[in-house]
């Protein structure tokens, strides 16, 4: 895919960034300017927030108008389709943006593996104790929960 022209690079708009990202759907080579990356990210976030706000609004009024539940379900399916359809372009724009900073696109793999892994210790907090006597002391959940709720430590 051809890169941006000089005039396109100097005046990157939201529409141009979206067109360029969708045109380079599977293009993981080359570069994407910071403006292209951030316009694409902003578009993605605005669509996501807008659809969720509309869904919440529909849910609020669906109590009196039951047919709106079908509209809300359709909207949520459209949002899911949008997320699936823009996954690959989002990854491609991110990789090209990393290339623009002189980094390999494999840095994205670091984030994709490290970010979910960072939640694993948090998840351990919800697993019950294995027994009354463990290698690290007796299992006593009451003080742990109280300290967590009260911010003690």
pLDDT digits (tens, 9 = 90+) for 89-130: 999 998 988 888 888 889 888 888 887 777 777 666 666 655
Residue 134's beta-bridge partner residues? 137
Calculate the dihedral angle through the C-alpha atoms of 90, 93, 95, 96, rounding to the nearest 10 degrees.
170
Residue-level pLDDT at 78: 92
Query: pTM for the whole thing?
Result: 0.66
């Amino acid at each position: 895919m051809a890169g941006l022209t000089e005039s396109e690079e100097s005046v990157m708009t939201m529409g141009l960034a979206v067109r360029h990202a969708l045109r380079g759907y599977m293009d993981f080579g080359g570069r994407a300017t910071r403006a292209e990356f951030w316009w694409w990210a902003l578009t993605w976030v605005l669509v996501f927030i807008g659809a969720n706000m509309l869904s919440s609004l529909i849910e609020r009024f669906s109590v009196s108008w039951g047919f709106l539940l079908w509209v809300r379900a359709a909207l949520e399916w459209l949002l899911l389709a949008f997320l699936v359809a823009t996954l690959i372009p989002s990854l491609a724009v991110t990789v090209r943006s990393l290339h623009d900073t002189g980094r390999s696109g494999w840095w994205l793999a670091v984030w994709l593996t490290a970010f979910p892994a960072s939640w694993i210790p948090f998840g351990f907090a919800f697993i019950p104790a294995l027994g009354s006597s463990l290698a690290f002391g007796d299992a006593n959940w009451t003080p742990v929960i109280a300290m967590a709720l009260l911010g003690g430590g």
